[in-house]
Amino acid sequence: MGNQKNKRNKILIVVIASFSTLLAMYLGVSMYFVDHFYFGSTVSCINVSGKTVEEVDEQMPLKVEKYTLELNERGDNKEQIKGEDIGLKYNSDGKVQELKNNQNPFKWIISIFYEKEFKVEDVVTYDDKLLKECINKLSCFDSDKINEPKNPTFDYGSEGYKIISEVPGNKINKDKLYDNIVNAILKGKTVLDLDSMNCYENPKYTADSKEVIDTKDLLNKYSSSKITYTFGDKTEVLDGSTINKWLKINEDYEITFDEKEIKSYLDKLSSSYNTVGKTRDFVTSLGASVKVSGGDYGWIINKDEEAKDLIAIVKEGKTVTKEPKYMQTAIVHGKNDIGNTYVEINMSQQHLWYYKNGTLITEGNVVTGNISNNCGTPTGIYKLKYKERDAILKGQGYSSPVNFWMPFNEGIGIHDASWRSEFGGNIYRTNGSHGCVNAPYNLASTIFNNIDEGSPVICYY
Marked catalytic residue, from 36, 351, 415, 434: 415
What does the DSSP assignment read for 133-198? HHHHT-GGG-GGG----B--EEEEETTEEEEEPPB----B-HHHHHHHHHHHHHHT-SEEETTTTT
- Give the Cα separation of 174 and 433 in Å (integer): 86
Select from 202, 79, 70 the least CA-distant residue to 140.
79
333 is catalytic: no
Which runs of E-coded beta strand occur in 8-152?
Answer: 42-43, 46-47, 68-72, 78-82, 89-90, 119-120, 124-125
415 is catalytic: yes
Are 351 and 412 in contact by the 8 Å Cβ rule? The answer is no
* Residues near 429 by beta carbon (within 8 Å), at least 6 away in sequence: 370, 371, 372
- Give the Cα separation of 37 and 49 in Å (integer): 5
- Give the Cα separation of 216 and 205 in Å (integer): 13
Marked catalytic residue, from 134, 199, 436, 459: 436
- Residues labelled catalytic: 415, 436
